[in-house]
Chain A
Amino acid sequence: MTATPLLEIDNVTKSFGGLNAIDGASLSMASGTLHAIIGPNGAGKTTLFNVISGTLIPTSGHIKFLGQDITNEPVHRISHLGMARTLQIKSVFPELTVYENLWIAAQSRDGVFKPFARAKEMRPANEKADALCEELGLTGLANHKAANLSYGDVALLEIGLALATDPKLLLLDEPVCGMGPAETEQTVAKIKKLAKHIDIIIIEHDMEVIFDIADDIIVMAQGRVLARGTSEEISNNADVRVAYLGDDHDD
């Protein structure tokens, strides 16, 4: 294990007009642990993912990824440093086939500014796309347009797009949101398997899932880090009960 933290978030604020979606959050996350971020709606979880992955530039503060300052880096360069992300609203390339989706994500590592090369002859990307189809169990759907896939398969494909870029860190934004019990189980198993060789930070509302897979739980509320700890510590934390689980003792 290296001493360099996976991700360092140093006093980050993101404001929209007068509203601080993130309000001076500081976090340091180590490699080798599955981190989860939870919190009520509007706590700033997705905004935090946006500033980490570069789709938003923080108003103030700094973010370091594997020791490198990425605060003002563009999204595509952060991707090349080894960060991948799925979105809360599943996001793939609808008019491309499953294979083409995975292919372009894989080819992004080798560069696309090759106007006179033939896409069909790009061996590494072809092989990786084939391998990912296999790994995700999408081989039978390889030539189907992503637009025609079921919700669960789109979610799977989106994770595949992230994996095709060989990430060191994977940010998952509500991966099981909108899934039925069977799909949820399948996805959770997938995430557990991935966590063995990729660092993962997950945002999720499903507490059962979180308590099942996360080693380190970060609770956000109103743009700040409210609490942090293991599932046991979090479920016994009084502040969290009030802010997140509500003042309800029914369960």
Chain B
Amino acid sequence: MSAASINRFGTGAFVLFTLTAPWLLPLFVDAFWVDIYSEILIWSLLAASVNLLYGYVGLLSFGQALYFGLGMYGVAVGVAKFGLGFWPAFGFGIFLATAMAVVTGALAVRLTWHYFAIITVVFSLIFYFMALSWKPVTGGDDGMPFTIPPVFSMGDFEVTFKDPTTQYFFIVITIGICYWLLNRILQSPLGRAFVTVRENDLRATLIGLNVYAIRLAAFVIAGFLAGVAGALFAFFGRYASSIYMFYHVSGEAVVWAIIGGIGTLFGPVIGTGLLIILREELSSVWQHYQILVGVIIILTVIFAPKGLGGLWARAVDYIASRSSNGGDAK
């Protein structure tokens, strides 16, 4: 088997599992794991936004929760305060997050490395404290619940999130589209330019690439992805809260991305999945389970700098080279 066919098989198995999870998972575990799986997929998109910036463009953002939070608030405020329907609220949330990424990114991507990391934290904290204190609009840390409008309605016929299967597949399809888009962009000239900038920004400008514009483009796409994740999470939880804008959330996304494997498309899904499962299983029985998370991070950084996604790629290469050697009639 070639490396490409193993990867295709892996992707196929993952897609098949995702499409059958609402029926498959309850056969083996409690039905609430379907919800946890939706949650993993949503959060993986936040990790993917970190991964796009860090893994492909070389910018480590500790502030992606800001765009996630704005996606959430756009939906919640849109529905609860402006009386928007499902789609306008969804669009409003994504728009707010993306617009914020344009404005903050225009300033932030002038910096790199720790300066960039610090400014992204600062931006997210500014808006976190604003959301926390602006209670009439945001509900502060009590959160802002809302009644979810139907996705589609015509006479008596309604498609709504009240049906768990509809909710699940809406989330899956939206996230599927996001990953498809991300993959498409990474395979484009712009995606190649991202990696070029990560590798050597001075050389990139010398061959005529506008490094600032390339970094800003990545930052805005990352903000968009985080915004979609936040908007979906608002629909999923039927509420928004400032706690999801705190930098702790940004930090978790960085951890998920690193453990999953920066610079790999599906790494963030693996990392997010593993750590959320760990949290679900351990946090109730062991208060200090995050010590274990810390150990996993340290081990990953030392022994698998490209994360689980990188280990997977190495394993695939190994199997592929062994099977091709075995296939030769020597």
- A binding-site residues for B, Cβ under 8 Å: 53, 55, 74-77, 79-80, 84-85, 87, 91-96, 100, 103-105, 107-120, 122, 125, 161-162, 164-165
- Cβ-neighbour of B214 out of A112, A122, A165 (below 8 A): A112
Bound together, the chains give a CA A107 to CA B196 distance in angstroms of: 12
A96, B187: Cβ atoms closer than 8 Å? no
Cβ of B205 under 8 Å from chain A: yes
In the complex, per-residue mask of B187-207: 1 if CB is within 8 Å of any chain A CB, else 0? 111111101100110111111
Q: Which residues of B contact A104 (CB under 8 A)?
A: 192-193, 196, 207, 209
A119, B199: Cβ atoms closer than 8 Å? no
Q: Which residues of B contact A115 (CB under 8 A)?
A: 184-185, 188, 190-191, 217
Question: What is the CB-to-nearest-CB distance from A82 to chain B, in angstroms, rounded to a whole number?
Answer: 10
B199, A96: Cβ atoms closer than 8 Å? yes
Q: Which residues of A contact B327 (CB under 8 A)?
A: none
Question: What is the CB-to-nearest-CB distance from A181 to chain B, in angstroms, rounded to a whole number?
Answer: 28
B209, A116: Cβ atoms closer than 8 Å? no
A108, B203: Cβ atoms closer than 8 Å? no
Q: Which residues of B contact A118 (CB under 8 A)?
A: 187-188
Cβ of B213 under 8 Å from chain A: yes
28 A-B pairs whose Cβ atoms sit less than 8 Å apart in the complex: A55-B206, A74-B210, A75-B205, A76-B209, A79-B208, A87-B206, A92-B203, A93-B199, A94-B200, A95-B195, A96-B196, A103-B192, A107-B192, A108-B208, A112-B189, A112-B190, A112-B192, A114-B188, A114-B190, A115-B188, A115-B190, A115-B217, A118-B188, A119-B191, A161-B203, A161-B207, A162-B207, A165-B208
A117, B189: Cβ atoms closer than 8 Å? yes
Q: Could you list 7 further interchain pairs (A-B, Cβ under 8 angstroms) beyond the known A100-B192, A112-B214, A120-B187?
A: A53-B206, A75-B205, A96-B196, A108-B209, A115-B191, A116-B185, A165-B207
Cβ of B222 under 8 Å from chain A: no
A79, B207: Cβ atoms closer than 8 Å? yes
Bound together, the chains give a CA A116 to CA B204 distance in angstroms of: 21
Question: What is the CB-to-nearest-CB distance from A99 to chain B, in angstroms, rounded to a whole number?
Answer: 11
Q: Which residues of A contact B205 (CB under 8 A)?
A: 55, 74-76, 79
Cβ of B211 under 8 Å from chain A: yes
Closest to A108 in B: B208
Q: Which residues of A contact B189 (CB under 8 A)?
A: 107, 110-114, 117, 119, 122, 125
Closest to B185 in A: A115
Q: Which residues of A contact B190 (CB under 8 A)?
A: 112-115
Q: Which residues of A contact B202 (CB under 8 A)?
A: 55, 87, 91
- B binding-site residues for A, Cβ under 8 Å: 184-185, 187-193, 195-196, 199-200, 202-211, 213-214, 217
Interface of B is mostly: helix
Evaluate whether A76 and B210 lie within 8 angstroms (CB atoms) in the complex, with A114-B189, A119-B188, A119-B189 already known: yes
6 closest residue pairs by CB, A with B:
A79-B208, A93-B199, A112-B193, A75-B205, A108-B208, A105-B207
Closest to B202 in A: A91
Question: What is the CB-to-nearest-CB distance from A116 to chain B, in angstroms, rounded to a whole number?
Answer: 6
Bound together, the chains give a CA A43 to CA B96 distance in angstroms of: 53
Q: Which residues of A contact B213 (CB under 8 A)?
A: 113
Q: Which residues of B contact A105 (CB under 8 A)?
A: 207-208
- Cβ-neighbour of A79 out of B193, B206, B214 (below 8 A): B206
Closest to B190 in A: A115
Bound together, the chains give a CA A18 to CA B250 distance in angstroms of: 44
Evaluate whether A91 and B203 lie within 8 angstroms (CB atoms) in the complex, with A80-B208, A104-B196, A113-B213 already known: yes
- With most chain A CB atoms within 10 A of its CB, the pick from B189, B195, B196, B204 is B189
A93, B203: Cβ atoms closer than 8 Å? yes
Question: What is the CB-to-nearest-CB distance from B56 to chain A, in angstroms, rounded to a whole number?
Answer: 11
Q: Which residues of B contact A111 (CB under 8 A)?
A: 189
Bound together, the chains give a CA A193 to CA B191 distance in angstroms of: 34
- Cβ-neighbour of A75 out of B191, B192, B206 (below 8 A): B206
Q: Which residues of B contact A96 (CB under 8 A)?
A: 195-196, 199
Question: What is the CB-to-nearest-CB distance from B52 to chain A, in angstroms, rounded to a whole number?
Answer: 12
Q: Which residues of A contact B199 (CB under 8 A)?
A: 93-96
Question: What is the CB-to-nearest-CB distance from B102 to chain A, in angstroms, rounded to a whole number?
Answer: 15
Question: What is the CB-to-nearest-CB distance from A59 to chain B, in angstroms, rounded to a whole number?
Answer: 21
